Amino acid sequence: MNIALIAHDKKKDDIVRFALAYKSILNEHSMFATGTTGSRIMKETGLKIHRFQSGPLGGDQEIGALIANNKIDVVFFFRDPLTVQSHEPDVSALVRLCDVYAVPLATNMGTAEIIIKGLERGDLSWRKIASEEKGDMNEQ
């Protein structure tokens, strides 16, 4: 599965702790992240991650493009609800794309833990079917 990892500045420590705690599960999948978040996770966990631009410089939109093309299966986006983000329209667009394409989205540690445990159990295998169906539609 393809997993996106994103975190606002005040939530980067949380996503790093999450990645450390679930490193063995995450290591079984392909990971993508916005710039600084990806750097921090790679440095502190040793996980291999494809990094995009930082969020404010378009990284959210790069991940959004993958979602729109059904190439991301799960998004862990630790948002800071108490700080105004300069790129809030990009954040809203990313959340909307997850809803449009039925991509599981965790915006906090509690939801992230439920999704990662489901991923470990194979509960998200339906995403493979959705991805294959989308691929068939694109080939027509």
Residue numbers annotated as active site: 60
Give the number of other Cβ atoms within 10 Å of residue 108's Cβ. Answer: 14
Question: What is d(CA 62, CA 34) in angstroms, rounded to the nearest whole number?
Answer: 9
Torsion of the alpha carbons at 107, 97, 31 and 46, rounded to the nearest 10: -30
Question: What is d(CA 66, CA 74) in angstroms, rounded to the nearest whole number?
Answer: 11
Bridge partner residues of 2 (DSSP): 30
Torsion of the alpha carbons at 85, 100, 62 and 10, rounded to the nearest 10: 30
Question: What is d(CA 71, CA 8) in angstroms, rounded to the nearest whole number?
Answer: 22
